A and B are shown apart, each in its own frame.
Chain A
Amino acid sequence: MDEAPGLSDQYRTASPWPVFIALGIPISELGLLFGLFPLAVGGLLLFGGSVVGMLSESGYVNSTMWASVVFSVLLFAFGSALAFTEVNLVVRGYATIAAAALLVVGGVVFELFVREQRDAF
């Protein structure tokens, strides 16, 4: 019998991302609900970044950069809907757009610098 019955060795039994996804959701909700710009940006960034991180960790996406681009397009669409339509929640809209922009930057930076370093090992 295997050493740890009931456990597969196909996947890791640890992942650092879930905690941060779970933190990102309430932080961004608080920021968006009360119109607290920094909380909204930070929370969305945390949420988006962790989702991308988890997707690439589990092999659902190949490119971290493209995953963050897709995610930030979604954020951008949502932010624009808040800021530029009749909804007219300008601060919240801009916060979402800012998070989208930062997420792309983060994705690119990771692709250019961090990943190479890591692959070099």
Chain B
Amino acid sequence: MEVNGQLALTVLMGVFLIAVAAWLARVEDWRSYTPLAGGGTVGGTAEQYVSEEKPSGVIRWLTTVDHKDIGILYGAYALVAFAVGGLMVVVMRIELADPASTVISNTFYNSLLTSHGITMLFLFGTPIIAAFSNYFIPLLIGADDMAFPRINAIAFWLLPPAALLIWAGFFPIPDVIPAQTAWTMYTPLSAGAGSGNQMNAGVDLMLLGLHLSGVSATMGSINFIATIFTERDEKVSWANLDIFSWTVLTQSGLILFAFPLLGSAILMLLLDRNFGTMFFSVDGGAILWQHLFWFFGHPEVYILVLPPMGIVSLVLPRFAGRRLFGFKFVVYSTLAIGVLSFGVWAHHMFATGIDPRLRASFMAVSLAIAIPSAVKTFNWITTMWNGKIRLTTPMLFCIGFVSNFILGGVTGVFLASIPVDLILHDTYYVVGHFHYIVMGAIAFAGFAGIYYWFPIYTGRMYQVTLGKWHFWLSMIGTNVTFFAMILLGYGGMPRRYATYLPQFATLHQIATVGALILLAGQIIFVWNFVQSWLEGRKVEDGDPWGLAEENLVTAEWTWFERKLQTAVTDGGEEEELATDGGNPVADADAESAADDE
């Protein structure tokens, strides 16, 4: 039996390798043909403007090293992960609609909880940011591509296996169950100690997947640092580098210092689990894990929030009709956050009994980090002040970002104060706090970017009314769900439980309703996104937002304009452009745009 298994595996592996070799030989051969210069594109759509350098069909996507293609791959990947993580949490919220364990078992709840957290942070959050940075940073800084295009492709392709490993416990593999460690993977539970079932290989697979996603993020960050340092156009100096590139540069620095540490900690944990080392099982091992994890974990939250802040800083002024107020200070506060974020990790450990003097210093730094965050917030508000605001969908999401970020930030400052934290730690208040930021801010900035740049990467315009529905359902859903959680936390509802005391039922039900509102909004989003990509009205103007009027055009739109002009126009009639300008005529136009094509 044992031998048979090995044999089967060997044969399988052999066949696989031979198939790979054969395929490579074919592709390499095909590649040795010089493509016809300016050759006819099959199908001749605008999207194929670069096809003389690329194969077509699936192979194009498997072999591409073009930063724009990779950006699109990252985006598609992130949205799939967002859907998976979102559906997981819908099941959890439905379970929480009544106090007892009714729909799913407690262990399954714990599994969903773990996967939801890891999926959203590592498979949605980091990749959706990489989608924007891959696509737009080379355009914004006038580079041909990323500094290391192939490394860029490797970094992306590590992610699908990472997702499969992280979700492996849910697949019908014999003897493998999902991890139930929560995303923080605290030892001794995650080391498999005790009589629980966390010694299962499912946890190892999840750890491997997480490790892979970390390798991917690190490769990406090195690439961005190299690109922004060395590939800028002569015209782009440090003084006029755009705000999004600044935030991605800072984020990449944070990744470079934080993720290798997570990788090492995960390897130590894997060694503990499989090879009998005792890093985390000796005295102090549990607290060692927490230090290692949060030394990564807190910078990670800023890794996730800085580029979305960059997107908002870039998009919001375009629809306020003026330049970003205090640009320099926004950059400085980005850098300040980057540095300070490594000095606050123990605010996640106030309740563990660490030395009170240490605690106090971490409290001080945690309060200090609120200052640069507030600087940014005031800058966004001041940018809008007396501006010519156009409430387009991307702008709505930016304003939603600012609003939710304030709530998330203020609750964070409260948590950073030791006496308050000792009461609220491990309650739903914490869940409310960080969801205001991860959902209310980070995901909102992602949507702002998706709508704002939709014309660039699809060549079409989305449906404006649906975009607004998406925003309002998301905004209301977020605030209903997570404000209820903050109240639950005040009431003392502990986090991470599938069941609860009946006294919490009403607020939990409100949170569930909020989650369903969110779900409805995201279904509209998916519909709008897919349908508009396929059938939306074609954009024929390189400046669909009318940025030129206020002199607010940025480099990626100039590039887009050039692309539209050089791609041979296939006789498109002059249509009135569907801008999302809060302008009723354009709105009505855009709504019917889908039918026009």
Q: Give me the interface of A with B, judged by CB distance under 8 Å.
A: 1-23, 25-26, 29-30, 33-34, 36-39, 41-42, 45-46, 53-54, 58, 89, 114, 118, 121
Contact = CB atoms under 8 A, between A and B. Distances in A.
Interface of A is mostly: helix
A47 B197 CA distance: 33
Contact of B149 (A1, A3, A11, A19): A11
B20 A46 contact: yes
Contacts of B20: 20, 46
Contact of A7 (B6, B50, B275): B50
Contacts of B208: 26, 29-30, 33
Contacts of B24: 16, 20, 53
Contact of A1 (B12, B204, B562): B562
B582 interface: no
B53 A9 contact: yes
Given A5-B562, A16-B63, A10 B144 contact: yes
Nearest to B562: A5
A19 B78 CA distance: 18
16 contacts: A4-B50, A7-B53, A8-B145, A14-B60, A15-B153, A21-B157, A22-B156, A25-B158, A29-B208, A37-B9, A38-B13, A45-B17, A46-B17, A46-B20, A54-B150, A121-B32
Interface of B is mostly: helix
A42 to B, nearest CB: 4
Interface in B340-377: none
Interface string B44-66: 00000110111100001011111
B10 interface: yes
B78 to A, nearest CB: 17
Contact of A3 (B38, B154, B158): B38
| Residue among B53, B64, B215 with most chain A CB within 10 A | B53
A26 B566 contact: no
Contacts of A3: 38, 49, 52, 566
B419 interface: no
Contacts of A5: 559, 562-563, 566
Nearest to B216: A22
Contacts of A2: 566
B559 to A, nearest CB: 5
Of all A-B residue pairs in the complex, the 9 with the closest CB atoms, nearest first, are A22-B157, A18-B153, A8-B144, A42-B13, A38-B10, A14-B63, A26-B161, A13-B66, A18-B154
A23 B161 contact: yes
Nearest to B219: A22
B400 interface: no
Contact of B9 (A20, A38, A89): A38
A15 B17 contact: no
B328 interface: no
Contacts of B563: 4-6
Nearest to A18: B153
B28 interface: yes
A15 B201 contact: no
B63 A19 contact: yes
A38 B6 contact: yes
B423 to A, nearest CB: 42
Contact of A6 (B6, B28, B559): B559
B171 interface: no
